[in-house]
Structure 1
Amino acid sequence: MKKVRFFRAGYFVWVLAPLALFASGGLGDPHVIWSYEWRALGTNARQDWSQRYYTRCTYIGRSGTLTEYPDNGKCGWIRFAPARGAAR
């Protein structure tokens, strides 16, 4: 009987490209959604996220917080922003 290997090096090759971009400063620091404000577009907005219009999105990351006011009414889960004090 052949043993199945779940952790092969080939499974993790795709991780190298994002890590290289992050290390070179191409993407910036990752920030994760922390809080948000929204308006209801329908009667069932508490249960159905598609009936929400987001007005403020606050992200938290290694270099601090980042607040955005989206034009399209949507917040992403992750936002990449340049590190504070970095050349733009």
Structure 2
Amino acid sequence: MKPRLLKLGYFVWVIVPACLWLTYQMTGLPHVIASYSWVDEGRGMDPFAQRYYTRCRFIGPYGQFELPAQHGRCGWVRFIKQEDR
């Protein structure tokens, strides 16, 4: 019996890197939040105060980005593409 050199099972591992590359192309690389600004309503640094965030600063592989908050909130991670720089 001759061994098969090209078997579909040998190439299943290619699916994972292909999915990672496709995800990178669609969403970009993750950047984590470093700081933020909010509207101070006289409660200062009270951890239980309601805050409306205005600016969010993210740091990651493409550098740092200061972006406006979305609906008064800042996420912990933002995916940024290289062309968005």
Matched residue type, 1:37 = S
For the aligned residue pairs, the C-alpha RMSD in angstroms reads 2.9
Matched residue type, 1:58 = R
Normalised by the length of structure 1, the TM-score is 0.60
Cα gap change, 1:71 to 1:78, in 2 (>3 Å): closer
For residues 35-63 of structure 1, give each alpha carbon's deviation from its aligned partner in whole angstroms, at most 9, with x where no partner exists.
Answer: 111113574862125x0011110000001
Asked if residue 61 in structure 1 is aligned to residue 60 in structure 2, the reply is yes
Normalised by the length of structure 2, the TM-score is 0.62
- Percent identity of paired positions between Structure 1 and Structure 2: 37
Q: CA deviation at 1:71?
A: 4.5
Q: Give 2:81's aligned residue.
A: 82
SS where residue 73 of structure 1 aligns? Answer: coil
1:30–1:78 CA contact under 8 A, matched in 2: yes
Cα gap change, 1:41 to 1:77, in 2 (>3 Å): same
Matched residue type, 1:62 = P
In the TM superposition, structure 1's runs of 4+ consecutive aligned residues that sit over 4 Å from their partners are 41-45
Aligned length, in residue pairs: 67
Structure having the larger proportion of residues in helix? 2
Instruction: Give structure 1 stretches of 5+ with no counterpart.
Output: 1-15
